[in-house]
């Protein structure tokens, strides 16, 4: 799976709609300090569902929205759309071209889309699970990431290997099933209490 293009609008230092196309081979982004190079990788992580404001180098989610300059007013929302080349079929049951979109308003409202259809953040998370590309995947190697992997606890490092082996989807499903089972047990206890009162 390859990145085809990234479209940002109102995201950090990109107030206008800005599209970057990634060709075959290696793409290098060069520019002076503070010109927005890291904001591009932030945009990729953000559209993939990143929720940690710290790893997006901000203090609150609103910080991803263009905050204005002396010449330009702040904007009301940020949007990023990532287009992926899925011709190798990494994303099963999806077309050769897959787009994911995330929009965030100052009001705190979020919107996510896969191929133009509104979805939940959970769906984006599940789409990229086991591909290594998700917001917690290993495809994005930021500053300090290698150090954090080396010094991580064994269980945390294991999650990385599980993602690479393509089995983190099952761990996630098991956790989800366990949570729903616990909920059902609680409902059952409550129901038995009510039945006991009625008898
Ligand atoms: P360096 O080479 O020093 O690491 P860089 O090219 O990676 O720099 P970034 O860190 O991507 O630069 O961009 C920093 C710039 O983005 C700063 O000028 C900052 O003011 C601007 N910026 C960040 N968030 C916003 C925002 N919400 N609104 C407007 N500008 C923003």
pLDDT in tens, 77-122: 999 999 999 999 999 899 999 999 999 999 999 999 999 999 999 9
**Is residue 41 over pLDDT 90?**
yes
ipTM: 0.96
**Ligand 1 centre distance from Cα of residue 102 (Å):** 20
Q: Distances from the Cα of 162 to the Cαs of 144, 145, 173, in angstroms?
A: 21, 17, 13
Please indicate whether residue 118, judged by its CB atom, sits closer than 6 Å to ligand 1: no
Please indicate whether residue 12, judged by its CB atom, sits closer than 6 Å to ligand 1: yes
For the chain, list the strands marked E by DSSP.
Answer: 2-9, 18-21, 77-85, 97-105, 110-114, 117-119
**Ligand 1 centre distance from Cα of residue 34 (Å):** 5
Probe residue for ligand 1, chosen from 30, 35, 70 as the CB with the greatest number of ligand atoms within 8 Å: 35
The residue ranking higher by pLDDT, 24 or 179, is 179
Please indicate whether residue 63, judged by its CB atom, sits closer than 6 Å to ligand 1: yes
Least reliable range by pLDDT among 66-75, 151-160, 175-184 = 151-160
Sheet holding 117-119, edge to edge: 18-21, 2-9, 77-85, 97-105, 110-114, 117-119
Which ligand 1 atom sits nearest the alpha carbon of residue 31?
Answer: 6
**Is residue 156 over pLDDT 90?**
no
**Ligand 1 centre distance from Cα of residue 172 (Å):** 35
0.80 surpassed by pTM? yes
Phi-psi region of 153 (alpha: psi -120 to 50; beta: other; left: phi over 0): beta
């Amino acid at each position: 799976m390859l990145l085809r293009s990234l479209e940002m609008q109102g995201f950090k230092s990109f107030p206008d709609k800005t599209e970057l196309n990634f060709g075959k081979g290696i793409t290098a982004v060069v520019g002076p300090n503070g010109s927005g190079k890291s904001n591009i990788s932030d945009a990729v992580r953000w559209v993939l569902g990143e929720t940690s404001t710290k790893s997006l180098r901000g203090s609150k989610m609103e910080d991803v929205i263009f905050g204005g300059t002396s010449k330009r007013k702040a904007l009301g929302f940020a949007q990023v759309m990532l287009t992926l080349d899925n011709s190798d079929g990494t994303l099963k049951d999806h077309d050769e071209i897959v787009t994911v979109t995330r929009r965030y308003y100052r009001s705190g409202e979020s919107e996510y889309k896969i191929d133009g259809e509104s979805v939940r953040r959970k769906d984006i998370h599940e789409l990229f699970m086991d591909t290594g590309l998700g917001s917690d995947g290993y495809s994005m190697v930021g500053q300090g990431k290698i150090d954090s992997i080396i010094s991580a606890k064994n269980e945390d490092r294991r999650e990385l290997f599980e993602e690479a082996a393509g089995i983190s989807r099952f761990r996630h499903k098991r956790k989800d099933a366990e949570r729903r089972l616990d909920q059902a047990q609680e409902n059952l206890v409550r129901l038995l209490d009510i039945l006991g009162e009625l008898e």
